[in-house]
Structure formats: C-alpha cells, structure tokens
Structure 1
C-alpha cells in the first residue's frame, strides 16, 4: 500500500480499516517504521563485502540481475556465462537457523508469517532458477565474505572448465 505521500497512505489506511475492507496489523511505532523503511534491499554490507572479495579475485559479474526472463526474481550476484546465481540472505529476514529469533509481543504472528513467506519465496526463486538451468548458491549474511567468495570462485572456475573443450580451450558447440 505505497502511494505518493505518507499523508495519503495514512488516510487510505484509515478508510480501509474503517470500512472493514481488510484486516491490517496494528500501527507500528514511528521510530520502528522509519528503521524498517531504511532497511536496504540491495547493496547491503554483506553483499558488498563478498562483491569486493570477488572483484579482488579478478571475477566480474552482474548485480541484482534477473537470471530468468519472465520471472520476477533477482539474484544478488550473477555470472551469466557460467549460469550461476548467488543470493546472500539476511539472517533476520530469511530466518537463519543460527541467528533468527522469533518476534515476541503484539506483532509476533505478523512477523512469523512474514519470515515464513520470505522463506517460501526463497525456495520458489531457487527452484525457478534451477529449473531454468542455473546453479543457485545461497549464503547467510553472517558467513565470512572471503570464504563465500572462495566458494563462488571455485564454482565459477568449475563451470568455465565444463563449458570449454579440454584440448583446444574453445567453447563446446
């Protein structure tokens, strides 16, 4: 329910709730709302650290790219020639088994459903990419960026090796 101005959004929210058109979660503290709206969807610190490490290794890639035409899902880092899609998931937003702690309080059900929906969408994205012939690599934001970059580099080099002829080094036809 995003609109041009915040005032219009609040007014629309009041009308919808007043007329009982939809059940919305209770209003959020303005400080919490501001913090959540400033959460980045791309170019996060973990992504940037991995991208810097990959760049230092001499690897070049696309960023926030849709690997499969017609599928409205993006990968954080993509190697198009090797058909490798990398996703770096945030521990909170994607329900990391090591760090995610369910919310408590009045909005706990909202957050449980939100994280569950994110995980379902993650699975659907991985399936869509895989079924289109892409190798999908997922990492958590808490993983060491250099270790992640090493793993990605190995996958990229292995994929490049598979797509070239052993004798001449030229692409297979």
Structure 2
C-alpha cells in the first residue's frame, strides 16, 4: 500500500488546514435534508420534476427542482451559504474570504433569477428554515396553476 502524501494548501487557498478542507468537502451542495423532505412532499402531491437540473441548457446553474413543462425552477437555499437575513452569522475564521463568498453567492442567485425570468421561467426560492409542508404546498399550487391543472391541491 502506498503512502498518501500530506495535503498542503495551495498558495492563497481558503483551506487553512487539512482538517478544515475535509470539513468543507463534507458539506452537501445537493440532497440536503430540507431538499429531500420538500421533494418527498411535492412527489406525494403527484408532481414529477427533475432534481439538480439546469433549467436553461446554456446556463451553468442548477436548480434543486425543475418543472420543465410549467417552467418553474425551485431553489432551497441554505441560510449560511446564501446569506439569510434572519440566520446568517458572519464567520469568525477567515471572515474576509467567507463573507465575500456568501456575497458572490447572493449576487449569483440574483443573476440566476434574472436570467431565468427573462427566459420565461418562474423562480421560487425558499430558505432551509421555512416549514417544508408550506414550501411543498406553494410549489404544488404554482406548478399546477402554470400548467392550468385544477386538481385542487
């Protein structure tokens, strides 16, 4: 068995240690608990969707749930990574980097919303702390409304 060389942060890297790097790599970018719960509730309402899909083929951004025929893109945003006005707490470690990263995420979110809206999509954004059943109910109502479906969900 060959020995694995010790990991060293590249020059200017955000990862201050191998332990920090492992911690950051472990953070899920998709299939988070709030996402899975909302998807399960929406699926139970009889709706089908694409998971972690690009609404627009030329745009390198993925939505958590995509309803193509209805042109609805759903994002369930994490409070820390997307700068929730209610729950975001600035980091104590390397605050310059992380605050800038969150700011870039928020700017990218606004840009994504704008591009999708211009292409005729409806963007729904929810915070991870919002009640899952309320999110699922709103998603179902919006998607069914855009499809012209009157199943009364």
* Structure 2 length-normalised TM: 0.88
CA–CA distance in 2 between the matches of 1:61 and 1:98?
Answer: 29
Larger helix percent? 1
**Deviant stretches of 4+, over 6 Å:** none
CA–CA distance in 1 between the matches of 2:109 and 2:24?
Answer: 20
Aligned counterpart, 1:145: 132
Instruction: Give the CA deviation at 1:41.
Output: 1.0
Q: Does 1:100 align with 2:88?
A: yes
SS of corresponding position for 1:152: helix
Larger RCO: Structure 1 or Structure 2 (Cα < 8 Å, ≥ 6 residues apart)? 2
Aligned counterpart, 1:168: none
Listed as ranges, the gaps of 5+ residues in structure 2 are: none
Q: Does 1:37 align with 2:13?
A: no
Aligned counterpart, 2:8: 10
CA–CA distance in 1 between the matches of 2:144 and 2:87?
Answer: 31
* Structure 1 length-normalised TM: 0.78
Aligned length: 146
Listed as ranges, the gaps of 5+ residues in structure 1 are: 1-5, 18-23, 165-173
SS of corresponding position for 2:21: helix
Instruction: Give the CA deviation at 1:81.
Output: 0.6
